[in-house]
Amino acid sequence: MFRWAASQELIPASVHQTLDTVESLKRGRTNAREGKKVMPVPIECIDAVRPFLNRQVKAVVDLPLLTGARSGELLGMRSIDIDRPPTDGDGPSVWVYRPIEHKNKYRDMERTIMIGPCAQEILIPLLNNRDPEAFLFSPVEAEAERRAALNAARVTPISCGNRVGTNREITPKRSAGERYTTQSYYVAIRRACDKGFPAPPPLGLEEGETLAAWKKRLTPKQNDELAQWRKDHRWHPHQLRHNAATRIRREFGLEAAQLVLGHSSAVVTDAVYAERDMAKIEDVIRRVG
């Protein structure tokens, strides 16, 4: 900010030069709040949430584990952005996805995401009979599938109840968009976590209890306990990239993890994304110590 202000001659350049001499904060040596290191999501936590995700969101959860891609890169995926070479005699071909929007676009860097056979199986049902320029992960499509499933499961005959679409608002306050944003995707994950890890009594919604009655029943202390429970049992989509980095580094080495994740330096991969393989460390120490 100060560098920009100096370039616009809003402040003297000496101000920015002086600020460059200020040392950065060191962990444990200041009163500043220190964030926790982001860790991979335990696989059992992902499995517990999957039953409560729709088809589109479930695919966006599984793809980072197989490709190392960021959520934002996947949410903008379209068929036209994927290069799908034909299968040759050496085995299944690898697709290449080049997202239009990505983290380092402003640096004129190209982002290339490789899609292997397992990830292709996830994408193929979403690619069939779709406009090449349409987004693969669409809330509109997810909502249509949800309503179709509810209609297929109804017990009341069509002649004895509301027909499809008759109870919808003409001008709803909120409507599904054409593509998921990082925020709407995170909200879907958060809601699925709350369903996959329901709060224990008396914090949770009791059988036969309405939502309004449940909210009215909880005391301020119980609301705080409920908030803490949800915080402890929710995970963030960004953690899935850490899962991929840890697995790739463990099986194929640091350089492979750097290339797959699209980092310009292996230092970033090593320091931020790849969890140390404690089993290997224990084996080494057992042998040398």
- Split at pLDDT 50, 70, 90, the class of 109 is low
Question: How many Å is the Cα radius of gyration of the chain?
Answer: 24
Range of lowest pLDDT (38-42, 83-87, 160-164, 243-247): 160-164
Nearest to 269 by CA among 281, 254, 280: 254
- For 157, phi and psi rounded to 5 degrees? -60, 155
Q: What is the mean pLDDT of residues 33-45?
A: 84
- pLDDT for position 285: 46
Predicted confidence (pLDDT) at residue 81 exceeds the cutoff of 50: yes
The confidence score (pLDDT) of residue 270 equals: 63
- From 24-28, 160-164, 196-200, the region with the lowest mean pLDDT: 160-164
Better-scored residue on pLDDT, 250 or 35: 250
- Residue 222: its pLDDT value, please? 94
Q: For 87-96, 116-125, 183-192, 245-254, which range has the lowest pLDDT when averaged over its residues?
A: 87-96
The pairs formed by 86-94 with CB atoms below 8 angstroms and a separation of 24 or more are 92/116, 92/117, 92/120
Tell me the pLDDT tens digit for each residue of 128-182.
888 999 999 999 898 888 888 888 888 877 777 666 666 666 676 777 778 899 9
Length of the chain counted residue by residue: 289
Residue 246 pLDDT > 80, yes or no? Answer: yes
Here the tokens at position 86 are: 């034909």
Other beta carbons less than 10 A from residue 289's beta carbon:
5
pLDDT score at 56: 93
Report the alpha-carbon distance of residue 77 to residue 136 in Å, rounded.
6
Q: Which residues of 99-128 are buried (b: 16+ CB within 10 A; e: fewer)?
A: beebeeeeeeeebebebeeebbebbeebee
**Distance between CA atoms of residues 62 and 50, nearest Å:** 10
Residues 6+ apart with CB under 8 A from 110: 98
The DSSP code for 214 is H
Share of the chain above pLDDT 70, in %: 82
